[in-house]
Chains A and B, each alone.
Chain A
Amino acid sequence: MRIVVGHLYPDYLNIYADRGNIAVLARRAAWRGHELEVRTISVGDALISGEHDLLYVGGGQDREQALVARDLVQKAAGIFETVADGAALLAVCGGYQLLGRFYRDTSGDELPGIGLFPHETTAGTSRMIGDVLLECELDPGIRRALAGFENHAGRTRLDPGAQPLGRVVAGFGNDGESGWEGCRVGRAVGTYLHGPLLPRNPWFADWLIAQALARRLGDPPELAPLPDELELQAHAVSAARAESRGGRR
C-alpha cells in the first residue's frame, strides 16, 4: 500500500536529525512492500484533510519555532480533521510543544499552539539535556522501552487525565518532576525524545507504520518481522547511557 506522510515544516523544524526518523519509516515500510510518499507542507501551503496517513512535525530552535507558530495556527483545522480522519501523527520536541495549547518563554510572551495535545509548556531557566529511557504501554498489557535523547528548556504540564507516552525510567521527561514523558491522543504521539527516535526504537517505528496503515485498513495490521540486530544493539547502548548518566529528576 501507499502511505502518504505529510511532513510539516521540514525546512524550519529539522534541528535534531528529523530526517533520520523519516528515512526509518520509509525503509521499514518498503521492506514490507509499502511505499512511503513524503509530501512537504510548509509555511503558506494548504493542509487538506483526507490526504494523509501520517503527519510528522520535527523540532526547531526557538527562532524557527516562532517563525512557524502563526502559520501552524492557520493549519489547526486541517490537522484536527486529518487526525479525526484516522491519520497517525508524530511530533518531536518543538513540534510537540507547538501542538499543545501554548509555549510561554522566560519573559512571559506566549507562542500560541493548536491544542491537539492537552498540555501547556513554560520555559525554564535551565535546559534539560541528556539520555532518556521510557517505559511505554501503547497496547494494553504490552510494555516496551523507548530510548532517546532530550534537550529542552520547556517544562510541559499535561492536563489531569491526559495520557503520557510513557513513564520516565531515567532522564527528565516532560517537566523533570512528574515522571511522565510525551503525550498520546489516539494515534497521535508527541515526545521530547530525539536521537533520532526511530532508528534505535524499531518497534515504535513499526507501531507508527501500522497506525498509519490502519487509517485505510480499519485496524493496524501485523507487520512482518525484520532482522533488527543493529537496531537492538543501538537501543541497548542508548538505554544503558540513560541509566548511567541520564538527567536526574
Chain B
Amino acid sequence: MRLAHNSAGANLVSGVASTLLDARGAELGLFEVDEAALPEVATRVQPRAVCLGNLFRDQLDRYGELELVAARWRKAVRELRTDAALLLNGDDPLVGDLARDRPGAIVFGVDDPSAARPSLQHAADSKYCVRCGTPYEYAAAYVGHLGDYRCPACGHSRPLLAVVAREIALAGLESTSFRLVTPAGTAPVRLGVPGLYNIYNALAATALAISLGASLDDVVAGLESFSAAFGRFERITIGDRRLLMLLIKNPAGANEAVRTIFDGGPPSLVVVALNDAIADGRDVSWIWDVDFEPLIPGLQRLVATGDRAAELALRFKYGGLDADAIEVLPSLERALDRGLELTPPGGELVVLPTYTAMLALRKLVAERGFVRPYWERAA
C-alpha cells in the first residue's frame, strides 16, 4: 500500500500539508501530529482514525498547560466524523477520559503490575482526578502518570482495556517481549527496541491497525520488524568504539532513557547534551524534574555539552555528583571527541541528547562517514 507519511518528523500543519503535496497516488495517509496542531490538522484532514497517546509535561513554554491541551483535544474529538475511529491510551487519565464522549472508542493500556514502578515518579503530571480533583490511587504506575488509577472519592478509574500488553519482559537495551491481547486474538510479541514506553507505542500502533482492518498476524509481523526512529535509540559504530544515543526531551521520556541505560549496566561515563532551541523547549527547567540520580553513584565522568551545558552540569552537581567529575564542553563536536577519547577500544559511549543536539550529533557522525543521513534511509 502506498503511504503518505511525515517520517522525518515535520509534525505541524505545514509538515502535514507538504507531505500530502508530495504524495501523489498515496492510498493512505499516516501522520504523527504535534499535540497543539492536532485540532487544526483534524479539521482539515478529516481523518478516518485518530490515535491519542499521552500528555506529558513536554514543552510547557510553547503550549501552556496540560489541561489546556486536553480541553482542545476534547473539542477536536467531539468534532470528528461520526464514522472515524478513536484510539485512546486508557492509562493516561486525561486521554482515557475522552472515551466518555465516544462510546465506540478503542482503549489500550498495560496490565502487568510486575512491570510497574514502585511509586509514582516525581515528574508525574496528572495525579489528580480529572473529574473531582482528589489524588488518584494507583494499583500500578508504569511510565510517569500512566498506569492503573482509581479515584477513591468519585470512583473515576481507568476505562476497560480492549488492546492490552501482559506478561512483559524487559531485556535491557536489546529488546522487550510481551503478550498482546486484542479483540482479534492474542499473540506473543518480541520488539527489537527497549523500554516500557515502546510497549505503549506498540499498543497504539496495534489499536490503530486493527481499527483499519489489519489482521493480528500482520500487526505482529509489523511490530517485530520495527526499528527505532533515527536518534531516539540508536547504536552507531565509530571505528573500534560504539555510540549509544538515546533522545531525551521531557522528564517522562528522559526517566525511561535513564532506566533503560541503567538496566543495561550503569555507565561510568556519559555525555549529556542540552540545547534550548524552540524544538528542544526554551525553558530548560525540565531537566530538574528528571530522575538522573540512579546514574550518579556509578559515574566517574560526566561530559556536559550543548548550548545549556553549564545548567546541565549544575543538575548533576546538585544531584550529588562531585564537581571534579564534571567537564563542561558546550561544543558538541568537542564533547563527542572527548567522550570517544575516554571510551576504551571496544567500549560503548552513552550519549543522551535533546532533539536539536541529537540532529547535530548525527550530522557530525554522518560527515565522518559512519552513518547515513536519515533522509536517505526513509522508506
Q: Which residues of A are at the interface with B, using a C-beta cutoff of 8 A?
A: 11-12, 14-17, 19-20, 23-24, 27, 61-64, 66-67, 127, 129-131, 149, 151, 153, 194-196, 199-200, 227, 230-231, 233-234, 237-238, 241, 245
Contact = CB atoms under 8 A, between A and B. Distances in A.
Most buried by A among B60, B283, B308, B319: B283
Interface in B275-295: 276, 282-289
A20 B285 contact: yes
Given A17-B288, A20-B288, A129-B61, A151 B283 contact: yes
A121 B77 CA distance: 33
B311 A64 contact: no
A24 B314 CA distance: 9
A114 B287 CA distance: 32
B289 A233 contact: no
Given A62-B67, A151-B60, A230-B328, A23 B319 contact: yes
Contacts of A62: 65, 67
Interface in B294-341: 307-308, 310-311, 313-315, 317-319, 323, 326, 328
24 contacts: A11-B135, A14-B289, A17-B285, A17-B287, A17-B288, A19-B288, A23-B319, A61-B67, A62-B67, A67-B128, A130-B61, A131-B282, A149-B61, A149-B283, A149-B285, A153-B64, A195-B283, A195-B285, A199-B288, A199-B314, A227-B323, A230-B314, A234-B313, A237-B311
A131 B308 CA distance: 13
B122 interface: yes
Interface in B133-179: 133, 135
Given A64-B128, A230-B323, A230-B328, A20 B315 contact: yes
B216 to A, nearest CB: 40
Given A130-B61, A241-B276, 11 more contacts: A23-B318, A61-B65, A61-B66, A62-B67, A63-B133, A127-B64, A149-B284, A199-B318, A227-B323, A230-B314, A234-B311
Given A62-B67, A196-B288, A200-B311, A67 B133 contact: yes
B259 interface: no
Contacts of B315: 20, 199
B57 interface: yes
A234 B64 contact: no
Most buried by B among A15, A61, A131: A61
B327 to A, nearest CB: 11
A131 B307 CA distance: 15
Contacts of A23: 288, 318-319
Nearest to B304: A230
Interface size class, chain B: 20 to 34
A130 B285 CA distance: 12
Given A17-B288, A149-B61, A199-B318, A233 B67 contact: no
A127 B65 CA distance: 10
A245 B283 CA distance: 12
Contact of B286 (A14, A17, A129, A230): A17
Most buried by A among B65, B276, B287, B307: B65
B318 A20 contact: yes
Contacts of A196: 285, 288
B123 to A, nearest CB: 9
B5 to A, nearest CB: 32
B229 to A, nearest CB: 27
A106 to B, nearest CB: 12
A61 B317 CA distance: 28
A197 B288 CA distance: 11
A2 B135 CA distance: 32
A140 B61 CA distance: 35
Interface in B232-253: none
Most buried by B among A11, A27, A153, A199: A199
Contacts of B310: 230, 233-234, 237
B286 to A, nearest CB: 7
A186 to B, nearest CB: 27
Interface string B94-130: 0000000000000000000000000000100001100
Contacts of A14: 122, 289
Given A17-B285, A130-B282, A131-B282, A237 B60 contact: no
A156 B80 CA distance: 39
Interface string B49-85: 0000000010011001111000000000000000000
A129 to B, nearest CB: 5
